[in-house]
Amino acid sequence: MIGRLADAVTRGAEGIVQGVGEVFEPTLRLGVTGLSRSGKTVFTTSLVANLLERGRMPGLSAADRIEAAFLQPQPDDTVPRFAYERHLADMTGPAPRWPDGTRATSELRLSMRVRPTGLLGGVTGARVLHVDILDYPGEWLLDVALLDRSWDEWSAHVLARLEGWPDAAAPFLDAARAAQAAAKFDEPEAARLAALYADALQAARDAGAYDLTPGRFLLPGDLAGSPALTFAPLPPGDAPRGSLRAEMARRFEAYKRGVARPFFRDHFARIDRQVVLLDVLGALQRGPRALEEMRGAVTDILRAFRPGRAGWLASLVGLKRTDRILFAATKADHLHHAQHARLQAILDAMVRDAKSRADFAGAETKTLALASLRATTEEERAHGGATVGLVRGRLTDGRAVSLDPGALPGDPSALLAAAARGDAEWPGGAFGVEAFAPAPSTLRAGSGPPHIRLDRAAEFLLGDRL
């Protein structure tokens, strides 16, 4: 309780200081949210590059009023800086490659000097807007699902979830059922169960599961091996003092208090605008169950954030109200543009559902199909009297190919229904998406890397504040 109060007090004081500064130089905190591999790091890198060099941003209406854009030291001295230059060089150089999965949080501040519009323009001179962006491992986002659960609730929830992935979880589930949890605590036994649990989470994730906590078990960062990460869920039963079950429960609480809550408090508190990235194509490829898992995970995350109002997470860590939220289906360059409307329609249907379950009151939302870094070009070919839209690019194994990615279904509700039923296959057969590598040497003077609709995303997220 005292910890919570102290948090609230420091947040309050910060708010005042920031409030005074904001009169002169407004700051916009952009939350780039998404499960692991959804495309956060690529999005952040390409957005920044395309705001620094605006040649490919016709959809950003304020683009010609931006007199200068530059990177500045970020406000939080204790968070590593986002390795923007390295990521950009990796993705756009002569032998381009995608960035590695993110293993820790990092932050970047982009500042733009903007000429105001209208009559005041000549009088007041240019203004500066700072945009702060945070990058983090997507796995850690899943922890919103454990913050409001007690040890017993959490254990019951994850054990029930793991029952649904028997191939992945059998060794752990057997061990958890056999454990002498009311007996005296023993560190090697705790470590053994924790290791089996971490393996089960990893295997279930590889099979398409999303709602798996704690996120740090999938990606420990610098906490690997610490007691806060050495616990596992156990079936209900007695928990006498000093028992294995009592100590596991204590460590779970320590994880919530010392790891999960500070992460959300420090990084999600003052978010003004959110972009939620979804690898819808990846989930389609993995099948109905993966799509349902993704929809469920996004719904949970949004319910915690309750973007329009302050949700339960806000009462816990002091979130600010987010007034705009963009949902983006990433990697749209895998499809010919004729299919983009269908990708967006599938995303629309998923989000509509999340919206009806989360409370969006007061937050403006939008959906887009985009590619942060366009790795393909398009071509049309005559085939049997019809024209087929192909995408051409280099696969990650180096082969140059022209592919017909096929058509997405026109009726998203049939897809979502198959997902909700837990069908093993899609009604119209499987979707295949090949992994393209970024195209070599894509940077031109005055322009950022090639993209699809990143300018529209920027317009929605930042346009009114420029």
Ligand X SMILES: Nc1nc2c(ncn2[C@@H]2O[C@H](COP(=O)(O)OP(=O)(O)OP(=O)(O)O)[C@@H](O)[C@H]2O)c(=O)[nH]1
Residues that bind ligand X (CB under 6 A): 34, 36-42, 98-99, 101-102, 137-138, 330-331, 333-334, 371-373, 375, 435-436
Query: What distance in Å separates the CA atoms of residue 52 and residue 67, rounded to the nearest whole number?
Result: 10
Query: In this structure, what are the phi and psi dihedrals at residue 116, rounded to the nearest 5 degrees?
Result: -70, 160
Say which entry of Mg ion, ligand X, none residue 113 contacts (CB below 5 to 8 A, set by partner kind): none
Provide the 8-state DSSP code for 213: S
* Sequence-distant (≥ 6) Cβ neighbours of residue 123 within 8 angstroms: none
Footprint of Mg ion on 135-194 (CB under 5 A): none
Query: What distance in Å separates the CA atoms of residue 339 and residue 347, rounded to the nearest whole number?
Result: 13
Judged by beta carbon, residue 41 or residue 365, the one nearer Mg ion is 41
**How many CB atoms neighbour CB 422 within 10 A?**
10
Say which entry of Mg ion, ligand X, none residue 307 contacts (CB below 5 to 8 A, set by partner kind): none
Footprint of Mg ion on 278-317 (CB under 5 A): none
To Mg ion, the closest distance from the beta carbon of 62 in angstroms equals 28
Judged by beta carbon, residue 102 or residue 274, the one nearer Mg ion is 102
3-state secondary structure of 463: helix
Judged by beta carbon, residue 92 or residue 102, the one nearer Mg ion is 102
To Mg ion, the closest distance from the beta carbon of 37 in angstroms equals 8
To Mg ion, the closest distance from the beta carbon of 132 in angstroms equals 17
Say which entry of ligand X, Mg ion, none residue 418 contacts (CB below 5 to 8 A, set by partner kind): none
To ligand X, the closest distance from the beta carbon of 342 in angstroms equals 17
Judged by beta carbon, residue 41 or residue 46, the one nearer Mg ion is 41
3-state secondary structure of 432: coil
To ligand X, the closest distance from the beta carbon of 457 in angstroms equals 12
Q: Are 324 and 462 in contact (CB under 8 A)?
A: no
Residue with token string 């058509």: 407
Judged by beta carbon, residue 308 or residue 450, the one nearer ligand X is 450
Is 372 among the residues that bind Mg ion (CB under 5 A)?
Answer: no
Q: What is the DSSP string of 318-331?
A: -PPPP-EEEEEE--
On the question of a cis peptide bond just before residue 75, with omega within 30 degrees of 0, the verdict is: no
Judged by beta carbon, residue 101 or residue 362, the one nearer Mg ion is 101
3-state secondary structure of 302: helix
Judged by beta carbon, residue 92 or residue 230, the one nearer ligand X is 92
Say which entry of Mg ion, ligand X, none residue 281 contacts (CB below 5 to 8 A, set by partner kind): none
Q: Which of 27, 46, 102, 344 binds Mg ion (CB under 5 A)?
A: 102
Residue with token string 């009559």: 119
Q: 2-25 burial string, b = 16+ CB within 10 Å, else e?
A: eeeeebeeebeeeeeeeeeeeeee
Footprint of Mg ion on 25-64 (CB under 5 A): 40-41
To ligand X, the closest distance from the beta carbon of 439 in angstroms equals 10
Piece of the chain touching Mg ion by CB under 5 A; list 26-34, 57-65, 94-102, 301-309: 94-102
Q: Are 114 and 274 in contact (CB under 8 A)?
A: no
To ligand X, the closest distance from the beta carbon of 88 in angstroms equals 12
Q: Which residue intervals of 73-183 are DSSP H helices?
A: 84-92, 120-124, 144-147, 151-163, 166-178
To ligand X, the closest distance from the beta carbon of 430 in angstroms equals 19
Structure tokens at 257: 């208090």
Give residues in contact with Mg ion (CB under 5 A): 40-41, 102
